[in-house]
Structure 1
Amino acid sequence: MKQKAIVILGMHRSGTSAFAGVLSMLGINFGSNLMPPAFDNEKGYFENIDIYNVNETILSSLGSSWDSLFALPSQWWLNTNLNIYKDEIRDILRQEFESSEIFGVKDPRLSWLFPLWREILDSLNIEYHIIIPVRNPLEVAMSLAKRNNFSLEKGTLLWTSYNLEAEQQTRKYPRLILSYNKLLECPKDVVKFIADKLKINYPWDSLTAMSDIDNFLEPTLRHHDFNFAIEEKRLLNYIFKLYKSLLDLSGFHDIALPSTHAIDDLAAEFINMRNYFYTFELQDEMKNTLKMKKQLEQIQQKIHSMENSFSWKITAPLRSVKTYFNRISKYHL
């Protein structure tokens, strides 16, 4: 039997963790080395740390990061320098999921990196199905403002970039675009819909798991909730059109071609806008900033390692004595 993978991608803070958590409660294996819960995601990320790390490294090697407003280079996935990362991903998938008939991979970065991952899954003869959660861009932007101190403008631009890439890169492949709000409101219906549409059998009984799923999807998962009719006025017309088009593609119906055509037009407009406003000079400055940020992180890691080393700890008394005598000499000489 051909191995199956459910690939969850989409914008950060859009419900990717919620969908992965629900599927995990239905027996879908997301791996053993999962990112632990944190203050901004107390229910858990359901994100494999090894996959997260390699995706971060790939973006960094391309001069980018998860919150970059710049596009990746054209046909970046054909870069032979990435072959080492492709091999690393294959090794991770074999080690984590070789014995699983069906497994899950979740990382918002896959919205940008899907072409490379698609190639890897094809090479391993894995049948993949894609889930793209969609959430109100203002809810996402407010969540990013709280967690990362981003402006609402940056948050909505990131939402636009991720969703355009996710929709266009997955259009030819088996996928579901699903409303995050729908999952919170009608989890039982969404669980059944996913199984029916993707033609999968959950490893664990869905009826038995529903009580745990209901508790997992408590109202606190909706960190910011907006009235769509009111908040429409606060959205740029462009972003509102994209959100509406994605909602047209989501839900319990097949893809509507007019919506994909509208998204193509919006994507072309977005590319023109980005090329106009994000100059090469600004892009170079961003790359230099990322480089310095990386160097700072490496220095901080070295300091942390040094301070926790055995030699640093056993010489601590000597440093204290030296500091004491330095103070004495300062006042008595």
Structure 2
Amino acid sequence: MSSHLLLVTGSGRSGTSSVAGALKRLGLHVPQPEVPADEKNPRGYYEPAWVTEFHKRVLNPVPVRTIDTRPTAGAIAAEAGSAPEVEAELREWLGGQLDAPQILVKDPRAFWILPVWTRVAADLGARVSTLTMLRHPTEVVRSRDSAYLTEQTPTFRRQRETANVAAWVNAAFETERSTRSLERAFVRYADLLADWRTALHRAGEQAGLTYDADLTTDAPHEVDDFIDAKLNRSAITWDDIAVPPQLRDLAERTWQAMNTLVDAPGSPEAIEALGGLQEEYVELFDFSEAIAMDATTARVSEGRREVRRKKDARIAELEAELEQLRSRKSGLFRR
């Protein structure tokens, strides 16, 4: 019997750790060792440590960030993921993980290089499906603020809020496109917290999963103690974050279209709508990039000047040290 590889993805802070932890408790196997829990995620990440480092090795040099606003990021990541050495590295690792009937690999970066995952898994005889977590962009952004930006200035936080909403939109398009040919499920974070049995029963049927419990009953399960509705502490609205109206409108319409995929993962109407929204996003990005061109050029120039200043200062230090050595040598000869 072949193994079933489930790739869990979704924007960071969208509930990927919560759903992965629940799925592990329902019988799916997470390759060991896992990324350890920390203060940002005390309940655990449920991410295979090798996978997170693998994605960093592939994406950081390009560079493509976990959340990336560039419409071209998907193509850049795909090219990086198509390198023969990347495929060989993944093949060697994944080939040693397929002993369990259902393998759970969770990492928000996975959608960037999904083709290499599906290609390698197919070559190894494994069935592949995906589960994507959906959380409203305002809640994702505020959760990221709380986790990563508490010590930043208000101006920087406002800028990051806009960038993070744009990245959420861009990731939504790329995730939908890259998973379209696979068995797939989309799960709203709010649904998972409100009624995890219904949410995961539906997702399991869509993604072809088998659980070690009957989720159509209310029989007690350890997931009851793991999933906590209080985890959703970021129930906010667009009025609570500083985002330009055009981007806010585009993000809200993208959210509505992605929600359609929860009940109908292959909805032609949703796919068509997302294609049109992506065209709008590309246009908005291009205009924004043009408006910011002078500021970007100025930052690049200042960066180059700073590099030159550091270089000149270091040269001056080395010349001073050399002069001191010459003086000491001269004093020795005079003796």
Please give the TM-score of this superposition, normalised by the length of structure 2.
0.76
1:192 corresponds to 2:224: no
- 1:39–1:50 Cα change, 3 Å: same
Would you say the 8 A contact 1:133–1:179 is kept in 2?
A: yes
Picking from 172, 183, 187, the partner of 2:181 is: 172
Which residue of 1 is the match for residue 85 of structure 2? Answer: 84
1:114 corresponds to 2:114: yes
1:117 Cα deviation (Å)?
1.8
Would you say the 8 A contact 1:248–1:256 is kept in 2?
A: yes
Which residue of 2 is the match for residue 300 of structure 1? Answer: none
Would you say the 8 A contact 2:81–2:116 is kept in 1?
A: no
Would you say the 8 A contact 1:58–1:82 is kept in 2?
A: no
1:85 Cα deviation (Å)?
2.2
Which residue of 1 is the match for residue 280 of structure 2? Answer: 269
Distance across 1 between alignment mates of 2:219 and 2:297 = 48
Residues 3-31 of structure 1: per-residue CA shift (max 9 Å, x gap): 11111111101111111111000110111
Residue type at the aligned position of 2:256? K
Distance across 1 between alignment mates of 2:21 and 2:228 = 12
Superposed, 1:48-87 pairs within 5 Å as 48-70=48-70, 71-72=72-73, 74=75, 76-78=77-79, 82-87=83-88
- Secondary structure in 2 matching 1:242: helix
- Secondary structure in 2 matching 1:34: coil
Would you say the 8 A contact 1:16–1:108 is kept in 2?
A: yes
1:120 Cα deviation (Å)?
1.9
Would you say the 8 A contact 2:185–2:265 is kept in 1?
A: no
- 1:139–1:2 Cα change, 3 Å: same
Which residue of 1 is the match for residue 95 of structure 2? Answer: 94
Which residue of 2 is the match for residue 237 of structure 1? Answer: 249
- Secondary structure in 2 matching 1:236: helix
- Secondary structure in 2 matching 1:278: helix
Superposed, 1:1-333 pairs within 5 Å as 1-70=1-70, 71-72=72-73, 74=75, 76-78=77-79, 82-95=83-96, 97-149=97-149, 150=157, 151-203=160-212, 210-226=220-236, 236-250=248-262, 252-253=263-264, 255-278=266-289, 282=296
- 1:275–1:218 Cα change, 3 Å: same
1:273 Cα deviation (Å)?
2.3
Q: Could you list the runs of 5+ residues in structure 2 that have no partner in the other structure?
A: 150-156, 307-335
Q: CA RMSD in A?
A: 3.2
1:54 Cα deviation (Å)?
0.8
Distance across 2 between alignment mates of 1:156 and 1:193 = 28
- Secondary structure in 2 matching 1:61: coil
1:263 Cα deviation (Å)?
0.3
The percentage of counterpart residues that share the same residue type is 19
Distance across 2 between alignment mates of 1:254 and 1:80 = 25
Would you say the 8 A contact 1:22–1:213 is kept in 2?
A: yes
Q: Could you list the runs of 5+ residues in structure 1 that have no partner in the other structure?
A: 293-333
How many residues align structurally?
287
Residue type at the aligned position of 1:34? E
Would you say the 8 A contact 1:141–1:155 is kept in 2?
A: yes
- 1:74–1:200 Cα change, 3 Å: closer
Distance across 1 between alignment mates of 2:196 and 2:75 = 39
- 1:73–1:255 Cα change, 3 Å: closer
Answer with 23-32 or 122-131: which moved more. 122-131
Structure index of larger Rg: 2
1:122 Cα deviation (Å)?
2.1
Distance across 2 between alignment mates of 1:51 and 1:283 = 36
Would you say the 8 A contact 1:111–1:163 is kept in 2?
A: no
Residue type at the aligned position of 2:197? K
Residue type at the aligned position of 1:218? D
